[in-house]
A and B are shown apart, each in its own frame.
Chain A
Amino acid sequence: MNTTDYILQALVKSAGEGQLTAQEALYRQYCRAMYNVCIRMCGNEADAHDALQDGFITAFRKIYQLKDPNTFGGWLKRIIINQCIAQGKKKFVYTQLEAPVIALAHETDESWWTTITMVQIHEAIKQLPEGCRQIFVLYAVEDYTHQEIADELQISTGTSKSQYSRARLLLQQIILKKMVANG
């Protein structure tokens, strides 16, 4: 175990005992990464801040349940993602798309994303519609399987796959539109 692991273990232990300084240290260490997860999942700053806040509060209240302090980052991310999903469920319902949309995804150029920056992809993700955005982020960015997404969102794997394909298509359209507008 290296020094970083020891420090993390000590911080997690102290945070579990209710020490606010340790909790703040953990917040400062993880807030940027978690906030970006929130803003990709939620699509706007206000909802992202709410999800971030509620996620951290839940995490610090349940931190005593964490057996291995070294897994704090992954454990925290699951809590944050669950918070974002819970927020999303209040706003929209997932629907299975029809087959022609799925087929359309395969007609596009498969290498278009290599010509654009991650900043452009990040900004375009935020502009995706609510439902397919979350599924796209969970699958492509957070590396969930379609089965895991289906279990979390209480949808079928077919819906997850079709929404993901739709998201990819829309993402390409959004980026290309912006590139054309910017000349």
Chain B
Amino acid sequence: MDKLKQHIQNNLHDLNIDQPKENFWDGLTDKIIGDENSDPFKEYIEQYKDEFDLEIPGEQGWSNIASTLSRNKPVIPINAKKAGWYLAAASLVLFIVVGALLYNNRSSVTRNGDDMVKTPSKTELGVPKPLVDDAMKEVAQGSSKTNDDKEQAGQGSKKVAQTDMKNDNVVTKRKLAVQKPGNKKLPSIIIETQAEYDNLIAGQVSLIQSMPLYGESAGDFAGFIDDFKRLDNQEKQLRSAVLQKGMEDNTLDELGMIYQKKLTVLKMLQREIQRTGNTTISENDSIPVFIKL
């Protein structure tokens, strides 16, 4: 044997220096299994894919999803570009609303005999179309939708609508109707006062519900909402007392006070939303959350 050949044969193992590239096996399997693009079985499945959706999920599915979603509202980051526009729009609306309220919100006091009546003048609020929530609609409009006073509320609203909305004249005082205890109808002055304040409060509620929330959830403003509901309960108790026992000297003052406090709570909530929005702008792109009172 050739000495070179003998040497090579004796050291064959050391001759295997090179290795095939990595993932060579993966390429090899294509040749064993067949080209990935020519899989007639896969093509058959894709052709009749729509016939595969045979199962129907249980009815409990959506209930579980809805309860989980309503438990944990997401905190959504904001878009810096859009935030500026939203803030500018919100500031403009706030400026207009506050200006209109300050200009028109004057009380007029007149006297007729022993009666003193204070009622606010009407004002026309240019508020955006509200995101209506049934629960808040009921709260804002009070519980005037009871069977007993629905008709009177309608009559009261009709009287209110007939007055001049654009003037800053106040509603003139009316002689208080003496209500005997046990009479189930609210006095017309109560109904008219309620109707006027309802317009103001509904306008404020609509404004707040249209303001975008950035980086916060509705639960962060729960304190304001609780205050508002507490005042609403006070209003209902007062009306109930009037139905039971009739009007007292300070009933209208108390009612006016409750309505003023409601408006104050709503304005404070509005300011807090704006203040929070100013401090939580981030660069992430997102859709804002809207509060539902």
Contact A158 B51 (CB under 8 A): no
Residues of B within 8 A of A178 (CB): none
7 additional A-B residue pairs with CB within 8 Å, beyond A114-B44, A118-B48, A140-B45: A18-B289, A24-B62, A27-B62, A31-B61, A53-B65, A106-B34, A158-B26
Query: A24-B66, A35-B57 given as contacts; is B33 within 8 A of A157 (CB)?
Result: no
B49 touches A110 (CB 8 A): no
Within 8 A of B (CB), among A6-24: 13, 16-18, 20, 23-24
- List residues of A whose CB falls within 8 A of some B CB: 13, 16-18, 20, 23-24, 27-28, 31-33, 35-36, 39-40, 48-49, 52-53, 56-57, 60-61, 64-65, 99, 102-103, 105-106, 110-111, 113-114, 118-119, 121-122, 139-141, 143, 145-146, 156-158, 161-162, 165, 168
> What's the tally of chain B residues with a CB closer than 8 Å to chain A?
40
A113 touches B36 (CB 8 A): no
Residues of A within 8 A of B287 (CB): 13, 16-17, 64
Report B7-31 CB contacts with A as 1/0, cut-off 8 Å.
Answer: 0000000000000000101100100
The reply to whether B61 and A140 contact each other, CB–CB distance below 8 Å, is: no
- Chain B residues 240 to 263 lying within 8 A of chain A, measured CB to CB, are none
Shortest CB-to-CB span from A8 to chain B, Å, is 16
Cβ–Cβ contact B76 & A64, under 8 A: yes
The answer to whether A140 and B41 touch across the interface, beta carbons within 8 angstroms, is yes
Closest 7 CB pairs of A and B: A35-B57, A118-B51, A36-B53, A64-B287, A140-B42, A61-B74, A140-B45
Residues of B within 8 A of A (CB): 23, 25-26, 29, 32-34, 36, 39-42, 44-46, 48-49, 51-58, 61-62, 64-66, 68-70, 73-74, 76, 286-287, 289-290
Closest A residue to B56 by beta carbon equals A32
Contacts of B48 in A (CB 8 A): 118
Q: Could you say which residues of chain A place their CB within 8 Å of the CB of B52? A: 36, 40, 118, 121-122, 141
| B residues less than 8 Å from A13 (CB atoms) | 287
On whether A35 and B55 interact (CB within 8 A), knowing A27-B65, A53-B64, A140-B42, the answer reads yes
With A16-B287, A49-B58, A161-B33 known as contacts, the answer to whether A113 contacts B65 (CB < 8 A) is no
Closest residue of chain A to B39, judged by CB?
A140
Q: Name the B residues within 8 Å of A119 (CB-CB).
A: 51, 54
Residues of B within 8 A of A18 (CB): 73-74, 289-290
Cβ contacts under 8 Å, A27 to chain B: 61-62, 65
CB distance from A25 to the nearest CB of B (A): 10
Q: Is the CB of A121 within 8 A of B32?
A: no
| B290 nearest CB neighbor, chain A only | A17
**Are the CB atoms of B32 and A103 closer together than 8 Å?**
yes
Min CB gap A154→B, angstroms:
16
